[in-house]
Structure 1
Amino acid sequence: MKNPKLTLLAAMIGLIFPLTAMAQALNTLSPKEKAEGWELLFDGKSMDKWRCYKLDKVQGWAIEDGAMVALGLPGGQGGDVITKEKYKDFELYLEWKVAQGSNSGIFFHVVEGEDYPTVYMTGPEYQLIDDVGAEGTDPKYLSGANYDVHRPKHGQVKTLDQWNTAKIVVKGAHVEHWLNDRKVVEYEMWTPEWYELKKNSKWRDADGYGKYPEGHIALQDHGGVTSFRNIKIRKL
């Protein structure tokens, strides 16, 4: 007589293995994503679609276990990276994690110019940080925030050894920040309210901040180790 417990166990294993096999590989697009117009910005092997801000190369970054890693090198040996292509209306998705005490960010509509020494002079920032290590910090500086302008609502980051998801949606003046599948920030650029918030932030004297309707995507090297993978974008 067959042991019913062993039969059940075998059936469960038989279900698990196909599901595991069907799990999407890192840094790839599914047929559905391809049909929807998604584009990979990182394939896990090269950073050919990126360069450092105001440079024609990447420095201070490495590829480790299928992730783009900002090494946090001292003395300006690294640098923020930007996409080689510019984007206007888009949906961006990626996975990220930071080391203890690290701080980084995702920027959009970044424009290079003599008057803009850094990416944050033009690009609004989706903040990434070790929230636990930043306990007591103003919520406008926590993960998912529109840095120093909008605080995240209902945001919750995972432990440092786990990957978080981030999504940014930009369509016209409308912007959304998503953190671990929750919408945590939503705002309209260039409204009277937006200009008032800007006036009361660090960007009050940054004339180029949020000014441009199109630009590069940027990932920040802020002196700490930060990892990114499954970076994909689609134009809207």
Structure 2
Amino acid sequence: MKKRILLMVTLVAMLTSCAQGPKWQDLFNGENLDGWEKLNGTAEYKVEDGAIVGISQLNTPNTFLATNKNYDDFILEFEFKVDDGLNSGVQFRSLSLPEFQEGRVHGYQFEIDPSERAWTGGVYDEARRGWLYPLNYNPEGQQAFKNGEWNKARIEAIGNSIRTWVNDVPCADLLDSTTASGFIALQVHSIGNAEQEGKSVAWRNIRILTEELEQYRMPEKSDVKQINQIANTLSEREAADGWVLLWDGKSSDGWRGAKQDSFPEAGWSMADGILKVHKSDGGESTNGGDIVTTRLYKDFMLKVDFRITEGANSGIKYFVDTDLNKGQGSAIGCEFQILDDRRHPDAKMGKDGNRTLGSLYDLIPAPADKPFRSGFFNTAMVVVEGN
């Protein structure tokens, strides 16, 4: 009899525990802005009909209403509605530090974009690297946002995995390790003309889950493109798709000097996962000289993150034949040009801009409006298929 009573009590306790479900915490009480603080700009935030409403204002930078608490791993849900023509977003794992641009808010942002571009649900790195997951990677996700209506958003930030949804449609699938913890903030974007003044963006039903995340995270969808921004690593999906690392982030394995059998003893260095070519006297391929892979490649997709100093001139060469030039100068091959277009004279040479950043050197010019962030890592991509 005692065993039966004990069994019944245990079952009741288990059922009660299951019935409780996820332990959501409300970040907004629906009545006032307790627990939030305004950062950077001077745009107005007010509570109206159970929602936080942000109102655009001229002559102010981006304004953020930030939580007083920081969060690391979480699932965040909220509803939002935005006037047409007003860009906005929700920051997460974000920071405001005196040593970073005098307290400028920076970190991950869930994009709210009512424009024809339709990138709502994409992930932007505010005040740092720019776009991490633009939604042209996911055309189905671009269709999820409903202009002029309340939309439902979900963000899962668990470890290095960041995923987003709009109206239950998967949007972004990102791997990144830059910031592990920070506040959540509601953005009112700066505006450039009087026609945009007074437009509003609203948020309601803002709640966060910080416990038992593995139990409540959404299943992975392999048809949503995954972007890995973690340096010198391959995700499981990338490895399964056939990607390999050309550089392991720490050694010269797989590389040699273009005009020697081993890796150059000077002119190059490796530290903190970065391969760096040192400053030369301005001569072509002087100091350490070019380096090449020890293996040959035919058809391929190549991605390289690169960062240049002011006035730098470099490149990513492919189909290099190291036997064509044994003397002075660089190795011969096709070249993805890497150049400081503003400060290096080579940008004005050649023909029709075919020596500018991103060009196939001396052959095909890159677009003049190509995205490039000086002082940050940018990503080059080369696709070769047949001719």
Common fold: TM-score over 0.5 = yes
Aligned partner (choices 163, 175, 185) of residue 218 of structure 1: 185
- Correspondence for 1:87 among 54, 66, 71: 71
4+ residue segments displaced more than 3 Å = 32-35
Deviation at 1:151, TM superposition (A): 2.6
Contact 1:61–1:78 (CA<8 Å) still a contact in 2? Answer: no
- Tell me the secondary structure at the aligned position of residue 186 of structure 1: strand
Q: Where is the strand percentage greater, Structure 1 or Structure 2?
A: 2
- 1:169 paired residue number: 156
Contact 1:90–1:171 under 8 Å retained in 2? yes
User: Deviation string for 1:164-223 (max 9, x for gaps)?
Assistant: 011100111011111110111111113xxxxxxxxxxxxxxxxxxxx3211101110114
Matching residue of 1:149: 132
Paired residue for 2:368?
Answer: none
Q: Which amino acid aligns with 1:216?
A: F
Q: Is the 8 A contact 1:60 1:77 kept in 2?
A: no
Question: In the alignment, residue 89 of structure 1 is paired with which amino acid?
Answer: D
Question: Aligned-pair distance for 1:43?
Answer: 1.7
- AA partner of residue 215 (structure 1): G
Deviations 1:100-151 (A, max 9, x none): 10110111111121214432x3x11110021xxx22x3x6xx1011122213
CA contact (8 A) 1:102 1:225 kept: yes
| Pick aligned residue for 2:85 from 101, 105, 108 | 101
2:227 aligns to what?
A: none
Specify the code of the residue in structure 1 equivalent to 2:108. P
User: For 2:24 and 2:121, how far apart are their aligned partners in 1?
Assistant: 22
Percent identical: 29
Q: Is the CA contact 1:72–1:78 (under 8 Å) kept in the aligned structure 2?
A: no
Asked if the contact 2:40–2:63 (Cα under 8 Å) also holds between the matched residues in 1, the reply is no
Question: Structure 1: which amino acid aligns with 2:56?
Answer: G
Q: Which residue of 2 aligns with 1:234?
A: 209
Q: 1:111 to 1:77 in 2, by over 3 A?
A: closer
CA distance in 2, matches of 1:125, 1:84: 17
2 CA distance for matches of 1:110 and 1:144? 17
Structure 1 position 78, deviation (Å) = 8.0
Q: For 1:51, what is the secondary structure of its paired residue?
A: strand
AA aligned to 1:75 is N
Alpha-carbon separation, structure 2, partners of 1:231 and 1:157:
18
CA distance in structure 1 between the aligned counterparts of 2:19 and 2:76, rounded to whole angstroms: 13
**Maintained 8 Å contact 2:160/2:175:** yes
| SS of the residue 1:53 aligns to | strand
106-115 or 34-43, which moves further after superposition? Answer: 34-43
Map of 1:1-80 to 2, 5 A cutoff? 35-53=21-39, 60-76=44-60, 79-80=63-64
Larger Rg: 2
Structure 1: where are the runs of 5+ without partners? 1-31, 191-210
2:112 is aligned with 1:128:
yes
Q: Where do 5+ consecutive residues of structure 2 fail to align?
A: 1-17, 125-130, 191-198, 214-387
**Relative contact order higher in (CA < 8 Å, ≥ 6 apart):** 1
TM-score by length of 2: 0.42
Check if 1:186 corresponds to 2:186: no
Supply the AA of the counterpart residue of 1:182. V
User: Cα offset for 1:90?
Assistant: 0.2
Shift of 1:99: 0.4
CA distance in 2, matches of 1:159, 1:94: 16
Give 1:225 shift.
1.2
